[in-house]
Amino acid sequence: MSRRRSRKQRLPTEPVELEIESLSHEGRGVARIEGKVAFVDGALSGETVSAIYVRSRSQLDELRTESVLQASAERVSPPCGYAGQCGGCSLQHLDTAAQLNFKQSVLLEHLAQSTGLSSEQFELLPNILSKTEHYRRKARLAVRVVQKKGGVLVGFREKYSSFITDMHSCHVLVAEVAQLIDPLRELLNSLSGKHAIPQIEVAVGEHESQEEQADDTELPLQVALVFRHLQALSEEDQNALQDFCRAHAVHCYLQPGGTNTVHRIYPAASESPERLYYYLPEHDISLAFHPMDFTQVNGEVNRQIIDRALSLLDVQKGDTVLDLFCGLGNFTLPLARRAAAVIGVEGSDEMVRRGSENAARNGLTNTEFFAADLSKPLSQHVWAQKTYDKILLDPPRSGALEIIPEVAQLGAARIAYVSCNPITLARDAAVLQEHGYKLKSAGVMDMFPHTTHVESMAIFERK
């Protein structure tokens, strides 16, 4: 143990002046200190900055920008005062157009490395974007009692730390949630069980009753808060939570254990089902979801992605379409408006039930939903014995490598691959190439403005 301690060196405390050579895929400036790679948070390519050490490892150093000595033309003043501290965003200091250029470059670099293709060899799709503030509909807010900060803190964790940002507002959460941060701090501080609540899950939908509106019209939002608690809450505390949510017109849920323990305490179960809703007006679709279900965080971008996927797949009335990793039917149901039949497959039995529920809700009879482990061979499943005209893939970050060869054998003329990880998309694209598909087009969608998250889409055609 003493040997380990002797090897651990103290970090330098004096700021160092650095010239930033490029931007890493994580959005940090890349510099060199006596030949050693240094990643500098808050720095942009071409800048000269003064930075202090955060971590030092054998192969690289990590620093944080203290001051910008020579700024990039793409640098902007962050709209949020917590941008330098809060870990919820990492690119607010970069112009939004430059953020999209950066994300596009990340996608193209990974595609080139895996497939050998340059952007001149396929169509580069226009960027999909929306508003860059107050867009986020799903979030997990940390909660902690910190007496020296005045009591309960509610927010995102700090960069390079498990501490919670002492924040009173947020520029990325939808306004209906952002304005609740201070009232939530005050509420939780008043509870006897405040030490037992480590997080609040936030889910936002649109109100169930909607008159027909144009696609570009913002719909009124409905907020649900899920309070995770590690010990039973007193009746008085539960009443306080209900009173708060009633006063702010928010749905209130408790989570005493795993996700299967989540239950709503306001409004009462007898008043309405435990569902939120979102709408796809272009396709005359409404989708119901539970606050703990996976849904996209950016409603505007999600609508545009669906429209693009359907357009580029060129779905015809006689087509049979396979939607893998279908969730609660986000793509399945709009596809069903155009195709003869759509099969949706998802790993979760609960999501399969939700998809069927949503199909019935929208009067769609040409859909079927199946549960299957999509990390294992598909051939055993009845639905995998069919041929398909078009296929849509929307896998998790890990991608779909295990099933790509079998997907390629299903006979689809065209495949749309929606990805939240350009690394696994590029890897899977190379496998699709090996199995007879050509990359026709690809592009990025700004699902998470001000972050380094790269959402992308690629279209493949059978050669």
Task: Report d(CA 305, CA 323) in Å as an integer.
Answer: 15
Specify which residues 439 forms β-bridges with.
Answer: 460
Q: How far is CA 165 from CA 82, 174, 264, in A?
A: 8, 18, 28
- Looking from the CA of 299 toward its CB, the CA atoms found within 13 Å total 27
Q: Give me the catalytic one of 80, 252, 326, 420.
A: 420
Q: What is the C-alpha to C-alpha distance for residues 421 and 430, in angstroms, rounded to an integer?
A: 15
- Answer for the pair 284, 306: CB distance below 8 angstroms, yes or no: no
Q: Are 446 and 87 in contact (CB under 8 A)?
A: no
Asked if 367 contacts 359 with a C-beta cutoff of 8 angstroms, the reply is yes
Residues sharing a CB contact under 8 Å with residue 87, sequence separation 6 or more, in sequence order: 156, 157, 158, 159, 161, 165
Q: Identify residue 34 by its one-letter amino acid code.
A: E
Q: Which residues are within 8 A (CB) of 121 and not within 5 positions of it... i.e. 6 or more apart? A: 439
CB atoms within 10 A of CB 305: 23
Q: Which residues contact 43 (CB under 8 A, 6 or more apart)?
A: 18, 20, 28, 29, 31, 49, 51, 65, 68
* Nearest in space to 124 (alpha carbons), one of 145, 144, 146, 101: 101
Contact between 152 and 194 (Cβ < 8 Å): yes
CA dihedral 54, 57, 62, 63 (to 10 degrees): 50
Nearest to 312 by CA among 463, 119, 441: 441
Q: Does the annotation count 420 as an active-site position?
A: yes
Catalytic residues: 420
